[in-house]
Structure 1
Amino acid sequence: MNPATPLEIVCAHSPDSDDAFMFYALATRKIRSRLVTFRHVLEDIESLNRKAFEGQYHLSAISYHAYPYVADKYVLMASGSSIGDGYGPMLVANTPMAPEEVKGKRVAIAGKLTTSWLAMQIMQPDVVPVVMPFDKVLDALKDKAVDLALVIHEGQLTYSRGGFHLVTDLGRWFKQEYGLPLPLGANALLRSISPEISAECCRMMKESIEYALNNQEEALNYAMQFARDMEQPLAEKFVGMYVNHFTVDAGDIIPKAAQKLLDLGWEAGLIPHRTEVEFIR
């Protein structure tokens, strides 16, 4: 490669308002580099989890649940995590239901590698998953094709409009049970990328998040195109939930929380091997 020619990094993330917000400065080239350029690919998180098995993208959003399966190929980036600090994916039903009644029920989920599904199984392993696109779980619940829906993304703020009832907030449950925030999604970088390029990607990712937080109005206006029918105040609330100081840098608490989550999964037999989380900056 000619030293004057920047390396193209294919960067994959989900078409959500929070991801769009944190990647805004990269997507619009507010943050630039002489070493790398970014080409953005948008796919749902379960597709990204599956493609990470093959190391398809240089930089990819993944679920923390997926990390043990791709840790041979990817390392976690300290910037870009989506963290539920006392809130998170929501288990909802058509009628009021106690958490103790969930056992044995059919649950619509967005994918078996999502962190929401891992947390759900840690809380209650005896349920029947019905996998479907994340934006169809409430439709399936409304049609009574399932007993419960595990809601991720913006549906966490809009499910009540459909008359659904909250059974459990998994982020609240995790915080109450273990005293830690629930790590949901992360950005991961191919291990095969050179240290110089990896460091540059980490710098740019962090600066992109900081730019969005420091220029919220323009970043939110950009993110609104991915807000899936949410009005601006609700989209702003959702972005604020999942793009925050933990997103800028995971610090010490998020690696601890991620390790706890994955160890719980391994101890319960939900993850085939123990994996040490590893973050780069």
Structure 2
Amino acid sequence: MVACALAVLRIAHTPDPDDAYMFYGIVSGAVRIPGFDRVEHIVEDIETLNRRLVEEGWEVEVTAASAHAFAYIAERYYMMVAGASMGEGYGPIVVSRRPLRSLEGAKVAVPGRYTTARLLLRLATGGGYQEIFARFDRIPDMVLRGEADAGLLIHEAQLTYREMGLVKVIDLWEWWSNTAKGLPMPLGVDIVSKRLGLETAQALRKALQESIRYAWNRHTEALEYASRFARSGTREQLDKFVRMYVNERTLDMGPEGRQAHILLYQMAWDEKLIPEPVEPEFV
């Protein structure tokens, strides 16, 4: 058993179906966490978590975060090799009401200052557009109403934008694939406070891996739970989305996943898009 002074373990994650799915084993009580009497769940959208971590100095035992946000808090948190959302063959996209040749001078709705999608778009294009920060789930309607010329989509809207009458302008996976030479695309991560110590952090990572396996083994049950958090799309689209972002790479990002994060931070530092060089400590 891992010794820990804290009886209550706080786990923060997003109300997104993929996060809900992977934490189902823990939420249901099927996966027990050594050293903790109970688990307290905090559910917030990803940019709220990012801002609390980066701007407020929030300390929580385990939380989801954008890989971009991690660059600002790497001295305080370990990065888990489990729980990461990584694109392979898909990723964030930019959409508009009609085809655009360029984003130069356009008003682009982006899902938060610290999201990885925002960082990737800046790396891919070099900027030149006007950012409008908005909750990710408001962005399609902002584009449809003309409040923004284009929108950067994450989560389920990547699958449903055509049904909304929107067209794809930029596919960030295509850019990343050409740039990263086959590495998966970093998007979201789960992180553990370093104040817990390495041994406890490793135990928490193993618990998350067990929780993911539990959901896989009870896929219909776990998907039903995750569906409570879905904002759009059919059951089939939800199933597809969960399978896209809860996969073997989520269980363990592997050496390619580690290399991808290191590359992202090197590229971001080279362009001075993050405050300092980052070398993640993986658990």
Aligned AA (2:13): H
Aligned pairs for 1:119-268 (under 5 A) are 119-124=120-125, 125-179=127-181, 180-268=183-271
Instruction: Tell me the CA shift for residue 162 of structure 1.
Output: 1.1
One-letter amino acid of the counterpart of residue 35, structure 2:
L
> Displacement of 1:230 after TM fit?
2.4
Give the structure 1 partner of residue 31 of structure 2. Answer: 31
Query: What is the CA distance between 1:268 and its match in structure 2?
Result: 1.0
Report the Cα offset of residue 172 of structure 1: 2.6
Distance 1:34 1:118 in 2: 36
1:110 aligned onto 2:111:
yes
Aligned equivalents of 2:89 and 2:104: distance in 1? 23
1:271 Cα deviation from its structure 2 partner: 1.1
Q: How far apart, in 2, do the equivalents of 1:212 and 1:17 lie?
A: 12
Between 1:78-87 and 1:4-13, the stretch displaced more is: 4-13
Amino acid at match of 2:277: R
Aligned AA for 1:210? R
Shift of 1:72: 1.4
Q: Deviations over 1:100-149 (max 9, x none)?
A: x1222111011010000000000112121100111111111111111100
Q: Is the 8 A contact 1:86 1:174 kept in 2?
A: no
SS at match of 1:274: coil
8 Å CA contact 2:157, 2:232 repeated in 1: no
Q: Which residue of 2 aligns with 1:278?
A: 281
Q: Tell me the SS of whatever aligns to 2:108.
A: strand
Change over 3 Å in CA distance of 1:195–1:259 after alignment to 2: closer
Aligned residues: 276
Which runs of no fewer than 5 residues in structure 2 stay unpaired?
A: none
Give 3-state SS (helix, strand or coil) of 1:95's partner.
coil
**2:156–2:232 Cα contact (<8 Å) kept:** no
Alpha-carbon distance between aligned partners in 2 of 1:205 and 1:89, rounded to the nearest angstrom: 25
Map of 1:35-114 to 2, 5 A cutoff?
A: 35-36=35-36, 37-53=38-54, 54-98=57-101, 101-114=102-115
Letter in 2 for 1:138: P
Q: Where does structure 1 lack aligned partners over 5 or more consecutive residues?
A: none
Return the offset for 1:195. Answer: 3.2
Letter in 2 for 1:270: L
In structure 1, what residue type is equivalent to 2:28? T
Residues 213-267 of structure 1 deviation map (CA, whole Å, 9 limit, x = unaligned):
2221111111111111322110000001100011000110011011111111111
Deviation at 1:5, TM superposition (A): 9.1
2:33 aligns to what SS in structure 1?
Answer: coil
Q: CA deviation at 1:197?
A: 2.3
Change in 2 beyond 3 A, CA 1:269/1:217: same
4+ residue segments displaced more than 6 Å: 3-6
Q: Deviations over 1:14-42 (max 9, x none)?
A: 10000000000001111113412321111
Distance across 1 between alignment mates of 2:158 and 2:67: 19
Identity rate, percent: 36
Residue aligned with 1:173, SS = helix
Match of 1:11 in 2: 11
165-174 vs 110-119, which deviates more?
165-174
CA–CA distance in structure 2, aligned partners of residues 4 and 272 of structure 1: 33
